Structure 1
Amino acid sequence: MSNGLRGFLIVVPAFCTLILGCGREDRKPSPGASADTVAVGTNDGSAEDSTGAAARAADRRVVMFVGTSLTAALGLDPDLGFPARVQAKIDSAGLPFEVVNAGVSGEISAQARDRVAKWLVKQPFDVMVLETGANDMLQGLSLAALRRNIEQIVDTVRKARPDARIVLAGMVAAPNLGERYGREYRAIYTGVAREDSLSLIPFLLDGVAGNPDLNLGDGIHPNERGQRIVAENVWRVLEPVLREEAAKPARAAGPP
């Protein structure tokens, strides 16, 4: 068991409560905003994204982060979340990419599948970082369905945007769910990545999960220090993808 997983067992009940119970309405809205407004810095995909449009106008390409409360930086200003920290790394590296945070708290993989198909493929992006499945695990949903949903997201993106790159964020099951379940759960990510030739982040929360010093009071969502480590986990895999893409001629915006 990696150091990042030690202690994960004891925080699973909080994880269930705080991820599964946190939809968009649970984020604190800004003054004058409706209760279900997505936090500043995130975009659920149901509206045209101004960041992506601005990136195109500035001849920058788009990296879209699709995920749950982990991607949405639940409990923090989105500017402190790992997608924003990846943007800082992109800027420091001088790469022509703009990050769009399309994280939605409480989302299961079936909802991510539908959101990608209905909205997100209509947004401009060149690279998608996909983080989904933690809530499926915590709700005890079918592992076969989780795999199908991830595969369908990949198929949808490939059909609509055949040149787009997909980076899959791997997750690890809580140890108390059993060795067999954990093995089958993790194999979903490694299997889909292998079969569909995706770049894989082995475990998004490696070095953070279960460490109280790196998580918020709920014991599971990374705090500011934890977000820095998660950003490093992502960057190790994403940076070479972005460098490869930056070396290619810019593509057309794709589907309207």
Structure 2
Amino acid sequence: MVPPLVLAQPAQSTSARAPAAAPAAKAARSVLVMGDSLSAGYGLAAAQGWVALTAERVARSRPGWRVVNASVSGETTAGGASRIAGELQRNRPSVVVIELGANDGLRGLQLAQSRANLERMILAAKAAKAQVLLIGMRMPPNLGKEYTAGFERNYRELSRQHGTALLPFLLEPIALDRSAFQADNLHPIASAQPKLRDHVWSVLGPMLK
């Protein structure tokens, strides 16, 4: 989401047998997070967001893994779909976390287009041999029952159709606690981020094997 109103020795002679070379260090496998301001940590210090906290946990508990946060405040599914090829090529992730769609919903963009963009991202990630974790959101009821229901249904159906992992609602642990949000009532405060990390980890953790 966006701010209010819109949601990095020479070779030995053959007479002597050279010692076996030490095996090269195995490259770290990566988790690529592509999200909006909820994942970019809008309004927070760099180390406070749920993605940064997840990266700390990964460093401690999952040797050989790292987290790359390619989230952008204000990002839409169209933006994510246009960027994913480059991010996949640059980072070669083993897992791709897609947390997008909230800004589409807040702008009332067509559900079919949002779904197509998310599907494009999922297919690109799977073509790159990456596992996918799709993280959903919910829209405020003032957008209408049909729109809000269709918005949530997009995530469920895409996950089922393409066999991805699914976290239906990122903000579920804090959604009913208004004190967990910044003044804009959209972005969680720093003290709420560990709850989001733990919520995501319940699905992401088992994927990092």
Q: TM-score range by the shorter chain?
A: 0.7 to 0.9
- Other-structure match for 1:226: 192
AA in 1 matched with 2:71: G
AA in 2 matched with 1:123: R
- Other-structure match for 1:128: 96
- Other-structure match for 1:67: 35
- Other-structure match for 1:84: 52
Which structure has the larger Rg? 2
Q: Give the Å deviation of 1:58.
A: 6.4
CA deviations on 1:9-66 (whole Å, 9 max, x unpaired) are xxxxxx7752627xxxxxxxxxxxxxxxxxxxxxxxxxxx4xxxxxx97632111110
- Other-structure match for 1:193: 159
Q: Distance in 1 between matches of 2:26 and 2:69?
A: 18
Secondary structure of the corresponding residue to residue 44 of structure 2: coil
- Other-structure match for 2:6: 20
Q: Identify unmatched segments of 5+ residues in structure 2.
A: 9-23
C-alpha contact (below 8 Å) 1:209/1:220 kept by paired residues: no
CA deviations on 1:127-173 (whole Å, 9 max, x unpaired) are 111011000001110000000000011122222x1x21110001111
Secondary structure of the corresponding residue to residue 42 of structure 2: coil
Q: Distance in 1 between matches of 2:46 and 2:131?
A: 24
How many residues in Structure 1 have an aligned counterpart in Structure 2? 193
Q: Distance in 2 between matches of 1:188 and 1:204?
A: 15
Q: Distance in 2 between matches of 1:102 and 1:19?
A: 23
C-alpha contact (below 8 Å) 1:19/1:106 kept by paired residues: no
1:115 aligns with 2:95: no
Q: Distance in 2 between matches of 1:62 and 1:233?
A: 20
Residues 94 and 115 (structure 1 numbering): CA distance in 2 closer, same or farther, change over 3 Å?
closer
Q: Give the Å deviation of 1:174.
A: 1.0
Taking only the aligned residue pairs, the percentage that are identical comes to 33
Q: Give the Å deviation of 1:184.
A: 0.8
Residues 19 and 63 (structure 1 numbering): CA distance in 2 closer, same or farther, change over 3 Å?
farther
Compute the TM-score of the two structures, normalised by the length of structure 2.
0.85
> Going by fraction, where is helix more abundant, 1 or 2?
1
Compute the TM-score of the two structures, normalised by the length of structure 1.
0.70
